[in-house]
Structure 1
Amino acid sequence: MNRRVLVFGTFDLLHQGHRYFLSQARHFGETLIAVVARDDFVRQRKEHAPVDPMEKRMQILEETGLADEVYPADKEIGSYHILKKTSPDVICLGYDQRELKTNLEEWLEVHHKPLEIHVLPPFNEHIYKTTLLRAQQNE
Protein backbone atom coordinates (compact mmCIF):
# COMPACT_ATOMS: atom_id res chain seq x y z
CA MET A 1 0.00 0.00 0.00
CA ASN A 2 1.34 3.40 -0.98
CA ARG A 3 0.76 5.73 1.96
CA ARG A 4 0.57 9.36 0.89
CA VAL A 5 1.98 11.97 3.25
CA LEU A 6 1.06 15.64 2.86
CA VAL A 7 2.90 18.66 4.27
CA PHE A 8 2.09 22.36 4.15
CA GLY A 9 4.70 25.11 4.10
CA THR A 10 6.04 28.30 2.65
CA PHE A 11 9.43 26.71 1.92
CA ASP A 12 11.05 30.10 1.37
CA LEU A 13 14.85 30.08 1.40
CA LEU A 14 14.83 26.28 1.49
CA HIS A 15 17.13 25.45 4.42
CA GLN A 16 18.25 22.57 6.62
CA GLY A 17 15.18 22.93 8.84
CA HIS A 18 12.92 22.43 5.81
CA ARG A 19 15.03 19.51 4.61
CA TYR A 20 14.84 17.86 8.03
CA PHE A 21 11.06 18.42 8.20
CA LEU A 22 10.56 16.87 4.76
CA SER A 23 12.83 13.90 5.49
CA GLN A 24 11.02 13.23 8.78
CA ALA A 25 7.61 13.45 7.06
CA ARG A 26 8.79 10.94 4.47
CA HIS A 27 9.08 8.31 7.23
CA PHE A 28 5.27 8.20 7.49
CA GLY A 29 4.69 6.93 3.95
CA GLU A 30 6.01 6.31 0.47
CA THR A 31 4.80 9.39 -1.42
CA LEU A 32 5.53 12.86 -0.06
CA ILE A 33 3.24 15.69 -1.20
CA ALA A 34 4.26 19.30 -0.53
CA VAL A 35 1.66 22.08 -0.59
CA VAL A 36 3.31 25.47 -1.03
CA ALA A 37 1.82 28.66 0.39
CA ARG A 38 0.67 31.32 -2.04
CA ASP A 39 2.48 34.67 -2.05
CA ASP A 40 -0.59 36.64 -0.92
CA PHE A 41 -1.01 34.30 2.07
CA VAL A 42 2.64 34.74 3.04
CA ARG A 43 2.28 38.54 2.84
CA GLN A 44 -0.89 38.43 4.94
CA ARG A 45 0.32 35.87 7.49
CA LYS A 46 3.96 36.85 7.89
CA GLU A 47 3.56 40.55 7.04
CA HIS A 48 6.24 40.41 4.34
CA ALA A 49 6.56 38.99 0.87
CA PRO A 50 8.42 35.74 0.39
CA VAL A 51 11.96 36.04 -0.98
CA ASP A 52 11.00 33.82 -3.91
CA PRO A 53 7.58 33.72 -5.60
CA MET A 54 5.49 30.59 -5.13
CA GLU A 55 6.33 29.18 -8.58
CA LYS A 56 10.07 29.39 -7.83
CA ARG A 57 9.62 27.80 -4.38
CA MET A 58 7.66 24.97 -6.00
CA GLN A 59 10.30 24.54 -8.69
CA ILE A 60 13.09 24.31 -6.10
CA LEU A 61 11.19 21.61 -4.18
CA GLU A 62 10.61 19.66 -7.39
CA GLU A 63 14.23 19.99 -8.54
CA THR A 64 15.69 18.87 -5.20
CA GLY A 65 13.49 15.76 -5.17
CA LEU A 66 12.60 16.45 -1.54
CA ALA A 67 8.92 15.95 -2.43
CA ASP A 68 7.38 13.57 -4.92
CA GLU A 69 4.47 15.86 -5.75
CA VAL A 70 4.29 19.64 -5.33
CA TYR A 71 1.10 21.72 -5.44
CA PRO A 72 0.14 25.33 -4.84
CA ALA A 73 -2.00 25.91 -1.76
CA ASP A 74 -5.72 26.47 -2.18
CA LYS A 75 -6.74 29.97 -3.23
CA GLU A 76 -9.37 29.97 -0.51
CA ILE A 77 -7.69 29.53 2.87
CA GLY A 78 -9.32 26.85 4.99
CA SER A 79 -11.21 25.22 2.09
CA TYR A 80 -8.82 22.23 2.03
CA HIS A 81 -9.71 21.38 -1.58
CA ILE A 82 -6.12 20.16 -1.80
CA LEU A 83 -7.04 17.20 0.42
CA LYS A 84 -9.60 16.00 -2.11
CA LYS A 85 -7.16 16.56 -4.96
CA THR A 86 -4.23 14.71 -3.36
CA SER A 87 -5.96 12.08 -1.17
CA PRO A 88 -3.36 11.90 1.61
CA ASP A 89 -3.37 9.21 4.28
CA VAL A 90 -1.25 11.23 6.69
CA ILE A 91 -0.60 14.92 7.28
CA CYS A 92 2.64 16.04 8.89
CA LEU A 93 2.88 19.54 10.33
CA GLY A 94 5.79 21.57 11.55
CA TYR A 95 6.20 22.40 15.23
CA ASP A 96 5.20 26.02 14.52
CA GLN A 97 1.99 25.24 12.59
CA ARG A 98 -0.29 25.20 15.66
CA GLU A 99 -3.06 27.33 14.16
CA LEU A 100 -3.09 25.20 11.00
CA LYS A 101 -3.35 22.05 13.15
CA THR A 102 -6.37 23.44 15.02
CA ASN A 103 -8.12 24.57 11.82
CA LEU A 104 -7.36 21.30 10.06
CA GLU A 105 -8.63 19.16 12.94
CA GLU A 106 -11.87 21.17 13.05
CA TRP A 107 -12.33 20.85 9.28
CA LEU A 108 -11.64 17.10 9.35
CA GLU A 109 -14.13 16.60 12.17
CA VAL A 110 -16.88 18.58 10.43
CA HIS A 111 -16.27 16.76 7.14
CA HIS A 112 -15.86 13.32 8.77
CA LYS A 113 -12.46 12.74 7.24
CA PRO A 114 -10.30 10.65 9.55
CA LEU A 115 -6.65 11.41 8.81
CA GLU A 116 -3.56 10.89 10.87
CA ILE A 117 -1.92 14.17 11.86
CA HIS A 118 1.62 14.25 13.21
CA VAL A 119 3.44 17.33 14.50
CA LEU A 120 7.14 16.94 13.81
CA PRO A 121 9.90 18.31 16.04
CA PRO A 122 12.07 21.23 14.93
CA PHE A 123 15.66 20.96 13.79
CA ASN A 124 17.88 23.60 15.41
CA GLU A 125 15.08 26.19 15.13
CA HIS A 126 17.35 28.78 16.74
CA ILE A 127 19.53 28.54 13.60
CA TYR A 128 17.30 27.23 10.81
CA LYS A 129 14.24 29.43 10.84
CA THR A 130 13.38 31.43 7.73
CA THR A 131 12.84 34.67 9.68
CA LEU A 132 16.36 34.40 11.12
CA LEU A 133 17.85 33.58 7.74
CA ARG A 134 16.03 36.53 6.14
CA ALA A 135 17.45 38.85 8.80
CA GLN A 136 20.97 37.51 8.17
CA GLN A 137 20.54 38.07 4.43
CA ASN A 138 19.57 41.69 5.06
CA GLU A 139 22.60 42.45 7.25
Structure 2
Amino acid sequence: MNFVVKTVLTFGTFDLFHFGHLRILQRARELGDSLVVGVSSDALNFSKKGKYPIFSEEHRLAIVSEIKGVDRVFVEESLEKKREYILSQKADLLVMGDDWKGKFDDLSDVCEVVYLERTPALSTTEYKNIIKNIIDSF
Protein backbone atom coordinates (compact mmCIF):
# COMPACT_ATOMS: atom_id res chain seq x y z
CA MET A 1 0.00 0.00 0.00
CA ASN A 2 1.40 3.38 -1.04
CA PHE A 3 0.51 6.36 1.09
CA VAL A 4 1.28 9.83 -0.31
CA VAL A 5 1.72 12.53 2.31
CA LYS A 6 0.46 15.96 1.29
CA THR A 7 2.84 18.54 2.74
CA VAL A 8 1.53 22.04 3.48
CA LEU A 9 3.93 24.96 3.87
CA THR A 10 3.15 28.32 5.41
CA PHE A 11 5.13 31.29 6.67
CA GLY A 12 4.81 33.99 9.28
CA THR A 13 6.49 36.07 11.93
CA PHE A 14 4.30 34.73 14.75
CA ASP A 15 5.32 37.53 17.12
CA LEU A 16 3.13 37.89 20.22
CA PHE A 17 1.51 34.57 19.27
CA HIS A 18 -2.29 34.96 19.34
CA PHE A 19 -5.53 33.26 18.31
CA GLY A 20 -5.26 34.46 14.70
CA HIS A 21 -1.88 32.73 14.40
CA LEU A 22 -3.31 29.55 15.90
CA ARG A 23 -6.27 29.57 13.49
CA ILE A 24 -4.17 29.96 10.34
CA LEU A 25 -1.92 27.09 11.46
CA GLN A 26 -4.93 24.91 12.25
CA ARG A 27 -6.63 25.72 8.95
CA ALA A 28 -3.40 25.13 7.00
CA ARG A 29 -2.94 21.76 8.71
CA GLU A 30 -6.47 20.71 7.78
CA LEU A 31 -5.48 21.01 4.10
CA GLY A 32 -2.83 18.29 4.26
CA ASP A 33 -1.11 15.52 6.17
CA SER A 34 2.00 17.39 7.29
CA LEU A 35 2.50 21.06 8.18
CA VAL A 36 5.85 22.82 7.77
CA VAL A 37 6.18 26.41 9.01
CA GLY A 38 8.78 28.97 7.99
CA VAL A 39 9.25 31.47 10.81
CA SER A 40 10.58 34.81 9.59
CA SER A 41 14.05 35.64 10.90
CA ASP A 42 14.66 38.74 12.98
CA ALA A 43 16.71 40.18 10.09
CA LEU A 44 13.92 39.54 7.57
CA ASN A 45 11.41 41.27 9.83
CA PHE A 46 13.72 44.26 10.21
CA SER A 47 14.18 44.48 6.43
CA LYS A 48 10.37 44.34 5.86
CA LYS A 49 9.16 46.56 8.69
CA GLY A 50 12.15 48.57 9.92
CA LYS A 51 11.84 47.03 13.39
CA TYR A 52 12.55 43.77 15.14
CA PRO A 53 9.87 41.47 16.58
CA ILE A 54 9.18 41.58 20.32
CA PHE A 55 10.17 37.91 20.68
CA SER A 56 13.44 36.63 19.21
CA GLU A 57 13.40 34.20 16.29
CA GLU A 58 14.69 31.50 18.64
CA HIS A 59 11.69 31.98 20.96
CA ARG A 60 9.20 32.24 18.08
CA LEU A 61 10.59 29.02 16.55
CA ALA A 62 10.21 27.28 19.92
CA ILE A 63 6.61 28.49 20.34
CA VAL A 64 5.49 27.50 16.83
CA SER A 65 7.23 24.11 17.01
CA GLU A 66 5.14 23.21 20.06
CA ILE A 67 1.80 23.93 18.38
CA LYS A 68 -0.27 20.79 17.84
CA GLY A 69 -0.26 19.86 14.17
CA VAL A 70 3.01 21.59 13.30
CA ASP A 71 5.43 18.92 12.12
CA ARG A 72 8.51 20.98 11.27
CA VAL A 73 9.75 24.57 11.57
CA PHE A 74 12.65 26.40 9.96
CA VAL A 75 13.93 29.96 9.71
CA GLU A 76 12.73 31.96 6.70
CA GLU A 77 15.58 34.27 5.78
CA SER A 78 14.21 35.90 2.60
CA LEU A 79 10.87 36.50 0.91
CA GLU A 80 12.63 35.90 -2.42
CA LYS A 81 13.46 32.29 -1.45
CA LYS A 82 9.85 31.01 -1.34
CA ARG A 83 10.42 28.79 -4.41
CA GLU A 84 13.61 27.37 -2.87
CA TYR A 85 11.79 26.68 0.41
CA ILE A 86 8.88 24.98 -1.38
CA LEU A 87 11.28 22.68 -3.20
CA SER A 88 13.55 21.93 -0.22
CA GLN A 89 10.56 21.18 2.04
CA LYS A 90 8.86 19.13 -0.71
CA ALA A 91 5.66 21.13 -0.27
CA ASP A 92 2.55 20.26 -2.24
CA LEU A 93 0.62 23.30 -1.06
CA LEU A 94 1.65 26.84 -0.07
CA VAL A 95 -0.79 28.52 2.32
CA MET A 96 -0.63 32.26 2.96
CA GLY A 97 -2.94 34.81 4.56
CA ASP A 98 -5.15 36.69 2.13
CA ASP A 99 -3.22 39.89 2.82
CA TRP A 100 -0.68 38.31 0.40
CA LYS A 101 -3.34 37.44 -2.21
CA GLY A 102 -1.85 37.18 -5.69
CA LYS A 103 1.74 37.78 -4.57
CA PHE A 104 2.77 34.12 -4.84
CA ASP A 105 0.65 32.96 -7.77
CA ASP A 106 3.84 32.55 -9.85
CA LEU A 107 4.76 29.61 -7.60
CA SER A 108 1.77 27.57 -8.80
CA ASP A 109 4.09 25.79 -11.24
CA VAL A 110 5.78 23.99 -8.31
CA CYS A 111 2.85 23.63 -5.87
CA GLU A 112 -0.75 24.62 -5.29
CA VAL A 113 -1.13 28.11 -3.76
CA VAL A 114 -4.00 28.94 -1.39
CA TYR A 115 -4.74 32.23 0.40
CA LEU A 116 -6.74 31.91 3.61
CA GLU A 117 -8.89 34.71 4.97
CA ARG A 118 -7.38 36.31 8.04
CA THR A 119 -9.15 35.92 11.37
CA PRO A 120 -11.18 39.17 11.63
CA ALA A 121 -10.06 41.91 14.03
CA LEU A 122 -6.89 40.09 15.13
CA SER A 123 -3.51 41.60 14.32
CA THR A 124 -0.18 41.63 16.12
CA THR A 125 0.24 45.29 15.16
CA GLU A 126 -3.14 46.11 16.70
CA TYR A 127 -2.23 44.23 19.89
CA LYS A 128 1.05 46.16 20.09
CA ASN A 129 -0.89 49.42 19.75
CA ILE A 130 -3.32 48.39 22.50
CA ILE A 131 -0.43 47.51 24.82
CA LYS A 132 1.34 50.81 24.00
CA ASN A 133 -1.85 52.78 24.72
CA ILE A 134 -2.29 51.03 28.07
CA ILE A 135 1.32 51.78 29.02
CA ASP A 136 1.03 55.40 27.84
CA SER A 137 -2.09 55.92 29.96
CA PHE A 138 -0.19 55.31 33.20
What TM-score does the superposition give when structure 1 sets the normalisation length? 0.84
Choose the corresponding residue for 1:43, options 34, 40, 46: 46
Choose the corresponding residue for 1:18, options 7, 17, 21: 21
Match of 1:60, SS state, is helix
1:130 aligns with 2:132: no
Q: Shift of the alpha carbon at 1:47?
A: 2.4
C-alpha distance in 1 between matches for 2:44 and 2:88: 20
Aligned residue for 2:30?
Answer: 27
Q: Shift of the alpha carbon at 1:123?
A: 1.1
C-alpha distance in 1 between matches for 2:105 and 2:114: 11
C-alpha distance in 2 between matches for 1:10 and 1:76: 12
C-alpha distance in 2 between matches for 1:25 and 1:129: 18
Which residue identity is paired with 2:114?
A: H
C-alpha distance in 2 between matches for 1:36 and 1:67: 12
- Is the CA contact (8 Å cut-off) linking 1:19 and 1:66 kept in structure 2? no
* Cα distance change on mapping 1:118 and 1:43 into 2, 3 Å: same
Percent of aligned positions with the same letter in both sequences?
Answer: 26
Q: Shift of the alpha carbon at 1:84?
A: 2.4
Aligned residue for 2:105?
Answer: 105
Q: Which runs of 5+ in 2 are unaligned?
A: 134-138
- Is the CA contact (8 Å cut-off) linking 2:10 and 2:96 kept in structure 1? yes
Q: Which runs of 5+ in 1 are unaligned?
A: none
Q: After TM superposition, where is structure 1 displaced by more than 6 Å over at least 4 residues in a row?
A: none
Aligned-residue Cα RMSD (Å) equals: 1.7
Aligned residue for 1:117?
Answer: 113
Aligned residue for 1:86?
Answer: 89
For residues 20-66 of structure 1, the C-alpha deviation after alignment (integer angstroms, 9 at most, x for no partner) is: 11111111101011001111111121222101111110000112335
C-alpha distance in 2 between matches for 1:56 and 1:77: 21
Q: Shift of the alpha carbon at 1:77?
A: 3.7
Across the two proteins, how many residue pairs are aligned to each other? 129
